[in-house]
Protein backbone atom coordinates (compact mmCIF):
# COMPACT_ATOMS: atom_id res chain seq x y z
CA UNK A 1 0.00 0.00 0.00
CA UNK A 2 2.77 2.45 -0.98
CA UNK A 3 1.09 4.58 -3.69
CA UNK A 4 -2.62 4.41 -3.00
CA UNK A 5 -5.87 6.32 -2.78
CA UNK A 6 -7.65 5.42 0.45
CA UNK A 7 -11.25 6.41 1.12
CA UNK A 8 -11.99 6.94 4.81
CA UNK A 9 -15.31 7.46 6.61
CA UNK A 10 -14.18 10.08 9.11
CA UNK A 11 -15.86 9.89 12.50
CA UNK A 12 -17.13 12.93 14.38
CA UNK A 13 -14.96 14.74 16.92
CA UNK A 14 -11.72 14.02 15.11
CA UNK A 15 -9.71 16.35 12.90
CA UNK A 16 -8.73 15.37 9.37
CA UNK A 17 -5.10 15.71 10.43
CA UNK A 18 -5.82 13.30 13.26
CA UNK A 19 -7.12 10.75 10.77
CA UNK A 20 -4.00 11.17 8.62
CA UNK A 21 -1.69 10.71 11.62
CA UNK A 22 -3.46 7.55 12.77
CA UNK A 23 -3.52 5.95 9.32
CA UNK A 24 0.12 6.92 8.71
CA UNK A 25 1.10 5.25 11.96
CA UNK A 26 -0.66 2.00 11.02
CA UNK A 27 0.65 1.88 7.45
CA UNK A 28 4.20 2.71 8.54
CA UNK A 29 4.09 -0.06 11.11
CA UNK A 30 2.83 -2.52 8.48
CA UNK A 31 5.47 -1.45 5.95
CA UNK A 32 8.31 -1.39 8.47
CA UNK A 33 9.20 2.12 7.34
CA UNK A 34 7.68 5.59 7.34
CA UNK A 35 4.86 5.86 4.78
CA UNK A 36 3.97 9.29 3.42
CA UNK A 37 0.24 10.01 3.84
CA UNK A 38 -1.74 13.14 2.98
CA UNK A 39 -5.38 14.18 2.73
CA UNK A 40 -7.24 15.84 -0.13
CA UNK A 41 -9.42 18.40 1.61
CA UNK A 42 -10.36 18.59 5.27
CA UNK A 43 -13.62 17.99 7.07
CA UNK A 44 -14.53 19.99 10.17
CA UNK A 45 -13.96 18.05 13.40
CA UNK A 46 -17.72 17.79 14.11
CA UNK A 47 -18.40 16.52 10.58
CA UNK A 48 -18.34 12.92 9.37
CA UNK A 49 -17.99 11.24 6.02
CA UNK A 50 -15.77 10.90 3.03
CA UNK A 51 -12.12 11.83 3.32
CA UNK A 52 -9.66 11.00 0.53
CA UNK A 53 -6.19 10.03 1.71
CA UNK A 54 -3.24 9.52 -0.63
CA UNK A 55 -0.02 7.67 0.12
CA UNK A 56 3.49 7.59 -1.30
CA UNK A 57 3.84 9.10 -4.77
CA UNK A 58 0.07 9.68 -4.95
CA UNK A 59 0.53 12.56 -2.47
CA UNK A 60 1.87 14.60 -5.42
CA UNK A 61 -1.64 14.50 -6.89
CA UNK A 62 -3.46 15.59 -3.75
CA UNK A 63 -4.46 18.97 -5.19
CA UNK A 64 -6.24 17.24 -8.11
CA UNK A 65 -8.70 15.68 -5.67
CA UNK A 66 -9.02 18.78 -3.50
CA UNK A 67 -10.64 20.75 -6.33
CA UNK A 68 -13.38 18.21 -7.10
CA UNK A 69 -17.13 18.76 -6.54
CA UNK A 70 -18.60 17.41 -3.33
CA UNK A 71 -21.95 16.21 -1.98
CA UNK A 72 -23.21 16.55 1.58
CA UNK A 73 -26.14 15.84 3.83
CA UNK A 74 -26.63 18.30 6.66
CA UNK A 75 -29.01 19.05 9.50
CA UNK A 76 -29.60 22.76 10.01
CA UNK A 77 -31.18 24.08 13.20
CA UNK A 78 -33.38 27.14 12.74
CA UNK A 79 -34.06 29.72 15.42
CA UNK A 80 -30.54 29.71 16.86
CA UNK A 81 -27.08 30.82 15.80
CA UNK A 82 -23.55 29.72 16.64
CA UNK A 83 -20.36 31.76 16.76
CA UNK A 84 -18.73 29.10 14.56
CA UNK A 85 -21.75 28.13 12.46
CA UNK A 86 -21.73 24.64 14.00
CA UNK A 87 -22.01 22.79 17.32
CA UNK A 88 -18.54 23.83 18.49
CA UNK A 89 -19.38 27.50 19.02
CA UNK A 90 -21.45 29.42 21.54
CA UNK A 91 -25.11 28.88 20.61
CA UNK A 92 -27.78 31.47 21.31
CA UNK A 93 -31.49 31.73 20.54
CA UNK A 94 -32.36 34.23 17.80
CA UNK A 95 -36.01 33.84 16.81
CA UNK A 96 -39.18 31.86 17.52
CA UNK A 97 -40.41 32.36 13.97
CA UNK A 98 -41.41 29.00 12.45
CA UNK A 99 -41.33 29.10 8.63
CA UNK A 100 -43.61 26.77 6.72
CA UNK A 101 -42.13 24.16 4.41
CA UNK A 102 -43.31 26.26 1.47
CA UNK A 103 -41.43 29.27 2.83
CA UNK A 104 -38.28 27.17 3.28
CA UNK A 105 -38.60 25.80 -0.26
CA UNK A 106 -38.98 29.34 -1.60
CA UNK A 107 -35.91 30.53 0.32
CA UNK A 108 -33.74 27.70 -1.01
CA UNK A 109 -34.35 28.78 -4.62
CA UNK A 110 -31.92 31.67 -4.16
CA UNK A 111 -29.16 29.28 -3.12
CA UNK A 112 -29.14 27.17 -6.28
CA UNK A 113 -26.64 28.03 -8.99
CA UNK A 114 -23.79 30.51 -8.61
CA UNK A 115 -23.88 32.25 -5.24
CA UNK A 116 -21.63 34.61 -3.29
CA UNK A 117 -20.51 33.17 0.02
CA UNK A 118 -18.39 34.36 2.92
CA UNK A 119 -16.43 31.48 4.48
CA UNK A 120 -16.64 31.15 8.29
CA UNK A 121 -14.07 33.02 10.36
CA UNK A 122 -13.39 29.70 12.09
CA UNK A 123 -11.95 28.05 8.99
CA UNK A 124 -8.55 26.95 7.68
CA UNK A 125 -8.41 29.75 5.12
CA UNK A 126 -5.16 31.70 5.31
CA UNK A 127 -5.30 35.44 6.00
CA UNK A 128 -1.90 37.12 5.57
CA UNK A 129 -0.22 33.77 6.02
CA UNK A 130 -2.14 32.72 9.13
CA UNK A 131 -5.11 30.38 9.51
CA UNK A 132 -8.36 32.29 10.04
CA UNK A 133 -9.43 30.08 12.94
CA UNK A 134 -6.17 30.81 14.80
CA UNK A 135 -6.65 34.55 14.39
CA UNK A 136 -10.27 34.25 15.55
CA UNK A 137 -9.30 32.19 18.61
CA UNK A 138 -6.68 34.80 19.48
CA UNK A 139 -9.45 37.40 19.50
CA UNK A 140 -8.16 39.20 16.43
CA UNK A 141 -10.48 40.75 13.86
CA UNK A 142 -10.82 38.49 10.84
CA UNK A 143 -12.01 39.78 7.49
CA UNK A 144 -12.48 36.99 4.95
CA UNK A 145 -13.09 37.87 1.30
CA UNK A 146 -16.36 36.73 -0.28
CA UNK A 147 -16.11 34.06 -2.96
CA UNK A 148 -18.20 32.73 -5.82
CA UNK A 149 -19.26 29.11 -5.45
CA UNK A 150 -21.73 26.91 -7.30
CA UNK A 151 -24.53 24.93 -5.69
CA UNK A 152 -25.57 22.44 -8.35
CA UNK A 153 -28.45 20.98 -6.36
CA UNK A 154 -30.08 21.66 -3.01
CA UNK A 155 -33.06 19.68 -1.74
CA UNK A 156 -34.95 19.12 1.48
CA UNK A 157 -34.74 15.60 2.91
CA UNK A 158 -36.86 16.44 5.96
CA UNK A 159 -38.24 19.50 7.68
CA UNK A 160 -39.68 19.39 11.18
CA UNK A 161 -39.07 22.74 12.83
CA UNK A 162 -36.50 23.60 14.06
CA UNK A 163 -34.66 20.85 12.19
CA UNK A 164 -34.09 21.19 8.45
CA UNK A 165 -32.21 18.33 6.78
CA UNK A 166 -30.82 18.98 3.31
CA UNK A 167 -28.86 17.21 0.59
CA UNK A 168 -26.60 19.30 -1.64
CA UNK A 169 -24.06 18.96 -4.45
CA UNK A 170 -21.59 21.83 -4.52
CA UNK A 171 -18.39 23.08 -6.10
CA UNK A 172 -15.05 22.91 -4.33
CA UNK A 173 -14.62 25.71 -1.80
CA UNK A 174 -18.26 25.77 -0.69
CA UNK A 175 -18.80 25.91 3.07
CA UNK A 176 -21.95 24.17 4.27
CA UNK A 177 -21.72 25.99 7.60
CA UNK A 178 -21.93 29.28 5.68
CA UNK A 179 -24.83 27.91 3.64
CA UNK A 180 -26.68 27.07 6.86
CA UNK A 181 -26.09 30.55 8.26
CA UNK A 182 -27.19 32.18 5.00
CA UNK A 183 -30.38 30.09 4.86
CA UNK A 184 -31.17 31.17 8.41
CA UNK A 185 -30.63 34.80 7.45
CA UNK A 186 -32.89 34.45 4.40
CA UNK A 187 -35.64 32.97 6.57
CA UNK A 188 -35.15 35.58 9.30
CA UNK A 189 -34.69 32.87 11.91
CA UNK A 190 -30.93 32.48 12.28
CA UNK A 191 -29.45 29.00 11.86
CA UNK A 192 -26.44 26.81 12.43
CA UNK A 193 -25.27 23.42 11.16
CA UNK A 194 -25.74 20.64 13.74
CA UNK A 195 -24.87 17.59 11.63
CA UNK A 196 -22.72 17.46 8.50
CA UNK A 197 -21.82 14.37 6.48
CA UNK A 198 -19.87 14.33 3.21
CA UNK A 199 -21.19 11.57 0.99
CA UNK A 200 -19.34 12.07 -2.31
CA UNK A 201 -16.28 13.70 -3.82
CA UNK A 202 -16.82 13.63 -7.59
CA UNK A 203 -17.30 9.90 -8.35
CA UNK A 204 -15.79 8.75 -5.05
CA UNK A 205 -18.56 7.58 -2.72
CA UNK A 206 -18.87 7.09 1.02
CA UNK A 207 -20.25 3.63 0.18
CA UNK A 208 -16.71 2.56 -0.71
CA UNK A 209 -14.99 4.16 2.28
CA UNK A 210 -13.34 2.29 5.15
CA UNK A 211 -14.00 2.82 8.83
CA UNK A 212 -10.97 3.53 10.99
CA UNK A 213 -11.75 0.33 12.88
CA UNK A 214 -10.76 -1.60 9.73
CA UNK A 215 -7.24 -0.29 10.33
CA UNK A 216 -7.41 -1.29 13.96
CA UNK A 217 -7.85 2.36 14.97
CA UNK A 218 -10.19 3.33 17.77
CA UNK A 219 -12.07 6.62 17.50
44 is known as an active-site residue: yes
CA distance 71 to 92: 28
Active-site residue among 9, 44, 86, 182?
Answer: 44
Beta strand 70-78 with 113-117: parallel, antiparallel or unpaired? unpaired
Strands, DSSP E only, in the chain?
A: 5-10, 37-39, 48-55, 70-78, 80-82, 91-93, 113-117, 126-127, 130-131, 147-160, 163-170, 191-201, 204-205
Beta strand 48-55 with 191-201: parallel, antiparallel or unpaired? parallel
Q: Exposed/middle/buried for 78, CB within 10 Å: 0-12, 13-18, 19+?
A: buried
CA distance 149 to 110: 13
Task: Give yes or no for a contact between 154 and 111, defined as CB atoms under 8 angstroms apart.
Answer: yes
Task: Give yes or no for a contact between 74 and 197, defined as CB atoms under 8 angstroms apart.
Answer: yes
Angle at CA 213, nearest 5°, toward 208 and 219?
115
Known catalytic residues are 44
Amino acid sequence: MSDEIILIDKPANMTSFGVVARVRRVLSRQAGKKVKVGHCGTLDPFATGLLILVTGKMTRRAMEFTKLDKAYEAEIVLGKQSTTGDTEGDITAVSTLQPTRQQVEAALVAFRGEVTQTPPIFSAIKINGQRAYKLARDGKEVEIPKRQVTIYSLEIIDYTYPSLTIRTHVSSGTYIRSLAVDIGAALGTGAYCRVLRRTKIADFSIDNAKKLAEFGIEN
